[in-house]
Amino acid sequence: MTDLAMHPEPPEAPPGPGVVVLGRFQPLHRGHALMIAAAEQWRASNTPESPLIIAIGSSNRPESMENPWTVEERISMLEAWLGPNGIVGDIVAIPDIEDPPMWVSHAERYHGQAGIFFTTDIYSAELYESAGWQVMMSELEQRESFEGWRVRATAHMMSTIGDEDAVRTVLNPTIPKEVVEYLIEAGGLRRLAFLGGGGEPVG
C-alpha cells in the first residue's frame, strides 16, 4: 500500500442526497459523457428535486501515465463539457484510500449519503448496494472503445504531434470535442510524452 495524502479534506458538511456519478475522468471521455447524460436524464425524470453530483476519484494520486491529469484539470474538463451540453452538476473530489470495503463510507463524507448511485461498473455497483444505496445500472455502448486506458494510450500517441487538426481528428471519436479543445489549449497532452508507456487497463 502507498501512503496517500487526504487531498482534499472532506467538507465540514457533505451535500444532501443526490444522484451520484463516480469516475476518475482520466480524461473525461465519451463513455463518461454518455453515463453522465444518462444519469441526468434519469434524475430529471425520476427525482428532479435531487442534484446531480459528479464525484472525481483518485484526487490524491501522484502524476503517472494512469493518472496524468490533476483533479483541478479534471474539474476543468468536466466544466468545459457540462455547460455546452446543458447539464448542471455539483463536482466533488474524493481521494483514494486503498481500502475498497471502506470506500463507500469514506466517499459519503464527500458526496453525501442516502442518494442514488448511477454507474456502468458492476464492481462499484456491488460496493454501493452492499452499503445500502439504491443503484441504477446503465449500459455503456462501445465499452472497449471507451476504456480509459485505451483513450489515454491514444492521447499519449498524439502527445508529440504539432498538427492540432490531426489531434482533433484522432481524439474526437473517443473524447468530447470540448475536452479535446481544453487539452489542446491548456497543454494537457504534451506532458504525456514524458510519462513513459501506456497505463494500466482500467477506467
What per-residue confidence (pLDDT) applies to 95? 97
What per-residue confidence (pLDDT) applies to 1? 44
Q: Which helix (H) or strand (E) holds 154?
A: helix 148-157
Residues forming beta bridges with residue 192, ordered by sequence position: none
What per-residue confidence (pLDDT) applies to 147? 85
Helix axes 164-171, 177-186, angle to 10 degrees: 140
The whole-angstrom separation of Cα 123 and Cα 29 is 20
Domains of the chain: which residue ranges?
19-137, 148-194
pTM above 0.85, yes or no: yes
The CATH architecture to which 19-137 belongs is: 3-Layer(aba) Sandwich (3.40)
What average pLDDT values come out for the chain (203 residues) when binned by 10 residues?
80 94 97 96 97 97 94 98 97 95 96 95 95 90 73 94 96 97 94 67 39
The whole-angstrom separation of Cα 158 and Cα 184 is 11
- pLDDT tens-digit readout, 9-59: 999 998 999 999 999 999 999 999 999 999 999 999 999 999 999 999 999
The whole-angstrom separation of Cα 42 and Cα 25 is 21
Nearest by Cα to 121 from 24, 15, 1: 24
The whole-angstrom separation of Cα 120 and Cα 38 is 10
What per-residue confidence (pLDDT) applies to 200? 43
Cis peptide bond prior to 14, omega within 30° of 0: no
Is-contact 43 52, C-beta < 8 A? yes
